[in-house]
Structure 1
Amino acid sequence: MWQDENDEQWAKTISESRYSVYPICSDSADDIVGILYAKDYFRLKDKSRDNVMDTAVRPAYFVPETIRTDVLFRNMKKTRNHFAVVIDEYGGMSGIVTMNDLLEQLVGDLEDDISIAEEQPLIERIDSKTWRIRGIAPLDMVSEQVGVLLPEDDYDTFGGFVFGVLGTIPEDGSTPEIEEDGLVIQVTDIRDRRMESAVVYLSENVSGEKHHGKEN
């Protein structure tokens, strides 16, 4: 969006395009003055452009074209940025990248795995507190079936969530174990830099606030 547009133009762009993030540009597309998340915009009662610029627009996170995917992933996780502006060697904008773009690369192309997912269950319950979960399982589905609140706004898939917690790309064949958000997650299969599956247990330390499911 352009900084010199009026309030009505901003409202129309956000409501009609339905993107989650918008770069705010000044004189040209290379002159990005900030980033506006749609969720921050909709939370405001006063949606005048000046108030949006003052209270909702965040500083842009710039990265060079030459940065490696794994390094960018770690840096974005560390700085809690979910949107980066990619700058070329001349200082101009060459593109944008989101955390979801990176996670899709790390977890794998989801569309290629649809046929496999149809043959194998995304979530298999082993007992009342144990599940076998595929990396491509949608995180909201995992949260619902396991009964634990997970950061669904930050990650689309279970594999993306696991890689986000790890903060790195595990080596093929490795089986890291983590404990996060009331779950003990034992990764059982890493292939081609993506998480194929993990066995998940409810942690003994899960709080009532995190756990909202019912045991059968």
Structure 2
Amino acid sequence: MDTAFWITVLAVLALLVASAFFSGSETALTAASRAKLTAQADKGSRGARTALRITEDRERMIGALLLGNNVVNILSASLATALMTRLFGDSGVALATMGMTALVLIFGEVLPKTLAITFPEPVATRVAPPIRVLILLFSPIVALVRILVRSLLWLMGVRANPEGNMLALREEIAGAIALGHTAGAVARESRNRLLGALDLGERTVDEIMRHRRQIEMIDADNPPEAILSQVLASAHTRLPVFRGSDDNILGVVHVKDLLREVDRLIRGPDSPTEGLAALDIAKVAMKPYFIPETTALDEQMREFLKRRTHFALVVDEYGGLQGLITLEDILEEIVGEITDEFDVVAKEGHLTATEDGAWVVDGAMTIRDLNRAMDWALPDNEANTLAGLVIHEAQMIPTEGQVFAFHGFRFEVMARRENRLTRLKLRPL
């Protein structure tokens, strides 16, 4: 056991430490939350800023770490084999293989990775500065390896997705919220609000709009007394005004504007002699705001805020009226149902439990609202409402009393009006 022997032993131990460093760094930098690192960077942490910078190009970072880790592992195994062969002859190869496998597995892989996965952000901020230097040193070799790998993948028909990082980030956030709810750390209401805000960019106005059959409109040809009575009886403050056909929208009247006009006609200094009979609802109405049915919800919310209006009429590609949407409808996708003293009665009875464990549901209730209320997972890709889902799956308009089973639920049609399914009964199978 001369000096060379002990130098070799120390070299093997140093290489094991380097292997642990590379393994732990890889795990910490890939497992660290970018949100937490960003928060630490905003507070002045240089290590967090460096970690964020080097993790922007994960392929380059992992390539450098794997290169360093493989070099030190192969070199340590080679030195250990030479050392054991010198001591035990040919049998030293087997002893070196078993010994280095155990040492690398325990001290070079499992131990550092366990430590890094337990404290990912603290470890990432500490190892980021030296890893950045190593990435710069290894960048020429890593670049050649990346070109070779991408060329091989291209030959196999695999193409890189430039939007993959953004999609993965959104899925990561949604998965973290769902996992937090499953673990009991996030309440169902909080989960719904967070996921609702996250989904605004993925959903369009036609999914939540009020259908044209449900829109209350004012006929401009009606007598002024009838128009005033209709507005007073309505639960809404804004009503579309049409003439002839409900596709011929003249404008949208606001109750306040109508009240001011009525006051001018009756009590104003320049009020006409005929009084209320001189009311022209078309002149009181504001210019209508039309939007296409394919507009994303987050984009429409920004437009509402920009235009300082809360009301829009939805049209299809042919210009035909499909429905209307308000800012409140979009906000309800985040915070849940918003009710006041006028629409509490109108929105009661959407979901009623029965004695046999089933639920009686309004056919016009959206699948998303039902999933949020019951914590179910009915698909809403092909239909927005529960009645639409039943019609889509049945490939027909069912009659009263018909029963279907799909998506793990039993659906019974309890009431039908014309071609609309107005009431359904559901029970999980």
TM-score (normalizing by structure 1): 0.47
Higher radius of gyration, 1 or 2: 2
More strand as a share of residues: 1
Kindly indicate whether structure 1 or structure 2 has the higher relative contact order, using CA contacts under 8 Å at least 6 residues apart.
1
More helix as a share of residues: 2
TM-score (normalizing by structure 2): 0.24
